[in-house]
A and B are shown apart, each in its own frame.
Chain A
């Protein structure tokens, strides 16, 4: 009987798409106006983290896999694109592509190992693999150890657009991040995405329906790693720097925090969370170790009383799925 009271499915879907469309338009409009109001480098930093968090959310929000080692893809893509741009003289588009591709390759390797265990073990394995690659980055000759790779040239995009102009760089980052965002939206609303959600809800039942869930999980993992790589490669160009901070476990924790604050499994949540956390960290930067304590308090608060996150709460208040 309850089913009869619900609005027809197609109408609901159209309603949902309309509210998502409005939300997307608002987000894009804000991001176009923002560089005239706020410091562009801050915005670009937040955008890179927004993409990173969206990529992470693809796994936790839609497949139910908590990766505690996503800094591996972010940081290593950042190193490799920085190296390609600085030492091999790659133009920016090739350097970013190279970094993104390296994220994909690392995703295949780490994913193959990590998806052999479920649940809590998956989180520990990804964390351990990322820590291993942190030590490799610490020792590898090309990463520059504690100094990182500095003075990475931004270069000229397609030989035309000079990215050393802050606004040109901003437009490039914005376009790439929005493309990544739309790709993720497309993935989670495809038949492939429906299978991912089925795995999240009940993996055994999905297997019994005849799906090879390991393949789906691996593919989702690689997609997530690839987009995290894109975010890392962009960040290397924005700051003209690739450093150990980006591969350390604290970075893996930060992306969990951003997604959690914004709302796990929401489409806009990771973006909102990334902007909030990056703003908070810039604001708290002069207060040293209090950043760590503040992050911890936010984690505890979110898990205990704010599990839906900002966008999740907003969505349920407005009665729409954001």
Chain B
């Protein structure tokens, strides 16, 4: 153990680790938002609620069906993605041609409904979720203590982020997707079913949020309001990064998590506001966002 700027290395790297964890959730969620926005032209306000649903689904499956973390990691995103597809078919497809604002207001309303229903059923208190047996414990690295589960979350979300980047930027399906984002009418003329692609894209984005929710369950308590405050921070992350670039969303997410973690060490009073302050500064200097193209 040693000291850096009068702070013990355990405290510093501990917060840095929490920053990276938060950052991986910011990255996963803003990635989903950017993918959905690209195809649907909708800012998905329900994203936070869908993240919460992912965490709750994992909790309920463990509690009542005995389905463990690893299976939940696979099943929950698919399950929540299906609910997302239903939402797209039932509601979102009707507002696609309207002003963007209606999509935002509609998904905001859906988020309120979901959060309200969960609060009615489960109360507002947080529910604990056990870290899976395989990842319990941790390692003392000399300058910090690294819990295994947290290392796993960071590594796994990095893998998911880059897999998503690869799928969109480097595969044939991804090229259809990018083309449909640019000019849906032309892509349809080539015989590609664009409406189905839009539906599946929404499902995919929602699945990412649910996956983040499952990963978050053992770290934060599972509660109905866990998504609503987070989604506002993720909006700020999206504004800072700009939604034009997948890699940009990933980098911005992790970087802001780390900055937030460091602020917690050196200036704890500002830790909950630092991301918003950065957003304001970025808007004043570079209105299009760090990775965005000028509108």
Segment at the interface with B among A12-20, A157-165, A300-308: A300-308
Please report the total number of A residues contacting B with Cβ < 8 Å: 43
A9–chain B nearest beta-carbon distance, Å = 28
Q: Does B179 contact A (CB under 8 A)?
A: no
**Residues of chain B within 8 A of A98, CB atoms compared:** none
Are B106 and A296 touching (Cβ within 8 A)? Answer: no
Q: Does A211 contact B (CB under 8 A)?
A: no
The digit string for A286-307, where 1 denotes a CB below 8 A from any CB of B, is: 0011111101111110111001
**Residues of chain A within 8 A of B117, CB atoms compared:** 293
Interface centre among A60, A112, A299, A303 (most CB of B within 10 A): A303
**Residues of chain A within 8 A of B102, CB atoms compared:** 303, 307
Q: Does A260 contact B (CB under 8 A)?
A: yes
User: In the complex, which of the residues B105, B232, B269 contacts A128, with contact meaning CB atoms closer than 8 Å?
Assistant: B232
* Cα separation A127 to B102 with both chains bound (whole Å): 16
Segment at the interface with A among B72-80, B107-115, B199-207: B107-115
Known: A120-B100, A123-B101, A300-B109. A128 touches B273 (CB 8 A): no
* Cα separation A293 to B110 with both chains bound (whole Å): 9
The digit string for B81-110, where 1 denotes a CB below 8 A from any CB of A, is: 000000000010011001011101110111
Segment at the interface with B among A36-44, A131-139, A177-185: A131-139
Interface centre among A116, A119, A121 (most CB of B within 10 A): A121
The digit string for A265-291, where 1 denotes a CB below 8 A from any CB of B, is: 000000000000000000000001111
Category for how many chain B residues contact A: 35 or more
**Residues of chain A within 8 A of B280, CB atoms compared:** 113, 129, 132
Q: Does B216 contact A (CB under 8 A)?
A: no
**Residues of chain B within 8 A of A66, CB atoms compared:** 101, 104-105
* Cα separation A139 to B91 with both chains bound (whole Å): 39
Measuring CB to CB, which residues of chain A are less than 8 angstroms from any residue of chain B? Answer: 60, 66, 68, 112-114, 116-121, 123-125, 127-129, 131-132, 135-136, 139, 249, 253, 256, 260, 288-293, 295-300, 302-304, 307
Measuring CB to CB, which residues of chain B are less than 8 angstroms from any residue of chain A? Answer: 37, 43, 91, 94-95, 98, 100-102, 104-106, 108-117, 119-120, 228-229, 232-233, 235-236, 238-239, 269, 272-273, 276-277, 279-280, 283-284, 287, 295
